[in-house]
Amino acid sequence: MSATLSFIHRFEPGTDRARAPLLLLHGTGGDETDLLPLGRAVAPGASLLAPRGQVLEHGQPRFFRRLAEGVFDEADLRARVDDLARFVAEARAAYGLPAPVALGFSNGANIAAATLLLRPEALAGAALVRAMVPLAEPPETDLGAKPVLILSGALDPIVPAANAQALAGQLARAGARVEHRTLPAGHGLGQADVTLLRSWLAADATDRAA
C-alpha cells in the first residue's frame, strides 16, 4: 500500500495503536522493501513506512551522497534531510500517522541521526544500527528526551568505536535519552541486533501506553 508521495516507498498499516510507526531507512544498495521483514520482526503491529533513498552510487540507492567511504557530502546531506522530513510530513498526512520512530541501518542510520539533529520535529525517536557522526559541526538542538538506541559493532571495519561514541555524546548533549550498546559484531545486522531492537521498541510501546 502506498500513496503517490515525494519518495518511492512502501507503507504497511499497523494494528497496535500503542506502537509508534517505524520509518525504515535502508543501507547502501537497499530499497523500500529491504527492512520490512526486520520491522515486522522487531515491532509487530506497528505501521511501517519505508522510503527508497533518492541518491544513486554506482547504481545503488542511498539517502545522501558521500565523497569517500566515511566522508560525507554534508551540503547534500543537509538538503536530503529536508527532503526526508518533507516526505515524513506528507506520509503522516496521507496515512494519518503520528511522528514515527526511525529504524535505520548504516546509511539509513546516518540520515536518521542527521534528521534528529537538523529536523527533530520529524521523528519521535530513533534506533540507529551501525551509525556514525553525520555532521562535523551539528547545530544546537533540543531533542526533548526523545529515545535513541545506538547499536554498534566492536568489529565494524567502517565505523570506528570512537566515532560511534562521539555520536552518542552529541545526541545526549542535545537532550536525547541515549542507550548505546556495542555488540561483538561487524557492520552487518545480526540476531543480537534483532533481539535488542525488539526489546527496546517494546519498552517504548509500553511507555506510550502508560
Residue 94 lies in a domain: yes
| Whole-angstrom distance, CA of residue 99 vs CA of residue 197 | 19
Domain assignment present for 19? yes
Position 18 scores a pLDDT of: 87
Query: What angle is formed at CA 67 by the lines to CA 186 and CA 83, rounded to 5 degrees?
Result: 90
DSSP states of 36-54 = HHHHHHHSTT--EEEEPPS
156 catalytic residue (yes or no)? yes
The CATH number that applies at residue 38 is: 3.40.50.1820
Q: Is the dihedral of CA 111, 115, 116, 118 positive or negative?
A: positive
pTM of the shown model: 0.96
Residue 110 corresponds to which cell in the numbers above? 546516518
In a domain, 22, yes or no: yes
**In a domain? residue 3:** no
9, 26, 34, 106: which is the annotated catalytic residue? 106
How far, in Å, are 13, 42, 122, 188 from residue 28 at the CA level?
Answer: 25, 21, 22, 12
Q: Give the chain's domain count.
A: 1
Show the low-confidence residues of the chain (pLDDT under 50): none
Range of the domain at 133: 9-209
Stretch (H or E) spanning 1: none
Query: Could you say which of 26, 152, 156, 193 is catalytic?
Result: 156
| Digit-coded pLDDT (tens) for 33-71 | 999 999 999 999 999 999 999 999 999 999 999 998 878
Q: How many CB atoms lie within 10 A of CB 1?
A: 7
Is residue 194, in this structure, part of any structural domain at all? yes
